Structure formats: structure tokens, C-alpha cells
Structure 1
Amino acid sequence: MRGRAFVLAVVALLSVPATAQTRGDDPYFNAAQAGFNALQVDTRLWLQIFLTSAGHWPAVPNVTFSRRLFDATRQYQLSRGEAPTGVLTKPQIDQMLASASSVLAGWRMRWVPHPTRGRQLWVPIGLDLQATRTDLGVEMREPRNRFKLRFNAIPATNVRATYEATLREMVGSGDTINFKVVRNDFFVITGNQGRYSRYVRYHTDGDGILGFDMSWSDDDAPVYGNRLVTVISGSLWATMSGATTNCPPDAMRN
């Protein structure tokens, strides 16, 4: 979806009165939820991808409105010194789109298939990545070593065993673990060591697992690693779960 089309679609948010009353002590949540639910599914996802790319939403896109998304939208409004209603105005949308589009244009995200499994992942080819085939898939590295991503398929293993092995390896190498979660069908571990951050995510895939292991230095332009890893993680989650997803933006041209 191009930037202008996105703005027109999100205008639906503006038709819901921000003063609508709700039960409880928050007079704005129902209005924001109604505006979000009025959007088409792909536009709901794009709204969150743009918020993430602009640095305001650190979570995988979801088609359901949540208190976390409401709070993130209000924080964005507060950062502009404006009323935190959770219902975006057109000037707010325009600024968010401009900021996000600049970042997305630098990333130039594209679907990249795994060499053997055929599953796809969004990859920032705008970072001039150097790709190397590996036994497990492909490794992509930014020339100045500010970004590295390994897109791996590991046969004959499961989520729990790989989670435990990866956690031991990260702790043993000196990483500070910031977040970890393991479920029956996927796991995520995040950590950092000095100026480098690392994010590992794998999902069940047949009789093995498939996922990515990403590391980056600091969080500056053009990498913006904390934003980038959220967008990539969302693309893997959509690929593996069969959820609705979008095609990568092509530099957000109008």
C-alpha cells in the first residue's frame, strides 16, 4: 500500500468522535477502538508497521485493538505535545507517515525465501547486505558489521530443546537476557552485550524449526535495530502462522 492510500484509509479513524464516553475512568478507549475496527485488516497492520518504523510501537502487528496499542498511540500524541486521545488526527498521521517512510525507504524491505524450506522473511536489502549460503540457510551481513541476520532451518529438533540450548549459549557468552518466552510452537529470546543487541526467534516447521537470529550494534540510522527486528519478527510470525500479512513497502512511493 502506498503512503497516500494509507492516509486515505486511516481517515476512517477521524470520523469517530474522540469525546465518546466509555465505562470506567478512560473516556477515549472505545472511540479509538471503534476507529481501529472500522479499518480494513491490511490497513490495521500497516498502521502498526508505520508506528513501529517511526519508533512508537515495539510489538508484532495484530488485527485486534489492544490497550497496549491504545497507550502507544497516546504516547505518540504526547510526544507532539497534543491531547492523548488515542484517535489520530490527519496532521499526526502525516507526520508519522513521513517519519516511517524515511526509515522504510532506507531499509527497502523485501521478501527473501529460505533456500530449502521456501518460507519467506522480510529482509532490509537497503542495508547493502552481503549474503552467504550456510548449512542451515543463509546469513546476511551489513558491510560495517552493524547488522547480521541468519535465516535458519534446523532439522530434527524442537522449540523447547533449541530454546534451552540458545539460552545457555547466550548466558554463557555473557549476554544480558532482556526477555524470553517459550510456547509449544515458538520461542523468542532477546539479549545484549555491550553495544550489540541480539534477538532469536524460531517456530516449529515440520519435523524441525525455522527462524532467525539477528544481531545489531547500537540503534542508530540507518539500521534502527529495535524497530527493524520488530518488523522482521512480524513477517516471520505471519509466514509461520498463516496470518494476514502485507507485501513489503517499496520505499513508500506515492
Structure 2
Amino acid sequence: MQYYPYLVPVVILIVGPATWVEKFPEARGTRQSPVDIVTSRASSGGSAPPLVWRYSVNHPRSVVNPGYCWRVDENGYDSELRGGPLGSDVYKLQQWHCHWGSVNGEGSEHTVDGRAFSGELHLVHWNTSKYNSFTEAAGQPDGLAVLGVLLMVGSKHDELDKVVRLLPYIQHKGDKVTFSEPLNPANLLPKRIAYWTYPGSLTTPPCTESVTWILFKEPVQVSAEQVRLNLCYYVNGKNV
């Protein structure tokens, strides 16, 4: 499917934990993430090329607890992301995960005009046109592309609920459960495909500056119960 962005701004305000620089020198870099998106300072990208993606629905997937979040591994299986700020390079989906806070409404990594959201979903892709593996790509300036989706309380999200229902079974680091039903990553994205984009970094150590961020402007709704279950998953101390 092809989508044309309504706005492709460049964001220049940089934020992030200052304490990481002692052990991870790249955290001193000039393109650290996450950022606060100041909409009054965002510039239009003009006639940017369409952003194109394709994801497999029926291949086997598992949700795993790596010790700091929940994560769904895709490993590049039959997927494609290109266009927009990525040009003609083809990126494949490696994994997707979600960030939640200990307080409802304060879980997103990126903020918009200083406002945080309940959570933030990240679909992590790597550049298969230039690099031979995810590990190699993760160390290169154009190696990764992350689709960021802001989450806010509203209606229940059916696709995300397929993950939420399995959280009780992955409470400990290393726990892993295979999905028993098809799952379509495209259904995690908002209907209105307008986005901000900027060259950034991994948001956690080693803070490598290898990410082209594509953050959708329209938040996706999740139910209060889905937020509560995710918060319980984090507050229980199994994740950071």
C-alpha cells in the first residue's frame, strides 16, 4: 500500500538521559533520541515520496520478555518498508515493542509540545539494501528505520489486544509464547498517515545514532483496561 505524508518536518530539540554518556560515548552525539516535537518549529517536507510498507500476516510469531519490555520478533520475514525519508532502500521489520510508563499518560518516549502519551509503539526495521544483518545495520547511520506510534486512552485496540492477552504468560525474563492467531503489524498503524521524521538514535544504550525516525502524528487509541494491564506488567518489576 502507498501513503503520502501530509507533513514531514525536521525536529531539532534533543533530550535524553545525561548519565548514559559516561559508559556510552555515542550518547554525546548530535542526533540523540527521543526528542520533544515542537510543532511550531517543524518545517514542511513538501512533496516527499510515498511511504510504502508490506507485512506478512500468517507466519509464526512469538512474544518474548527480554527483561525490559515485551517484544514481538519478526526477523524480517516477508516484509518491506521504503519511500518517504528512506528513499529507494528497502527495510525489513525485525521486531516491534512498546514503551509504557508507571503512570497512565506518561509512558511515551517522544513528546509533542511537551505532552507525553500513555505509551509508544516502535516497529523496528533494518536496511537490507546496504547491510547483511540487523546487527551490522544497527551500527550504521542509515541502518535502522523505526515507525513510532503514540498511544492514548480511548477505544479498545483489537490487534494490540492479541499481545495484551498473553502478558500474564511472559512475566519473567526469557518467557516466550507463540501466537495462536494471525497478526497484522499494519493494523497497529494509524489511519491518517501524516508523520514527523528526523535522523536520530536508539533510545536506550548503546544509544547508537543509526535510526531514521518516522513518528506518526495521529495517536492510536487503546482502552483503559489495556493500559492498566501493561502498567501492571511493568510495575510488577519484571521490566524497566
**TM-score, normalised relative to structure 2:** 0.27
Structure with higher RCO (Cα < 8 A, 6+ apart): 2
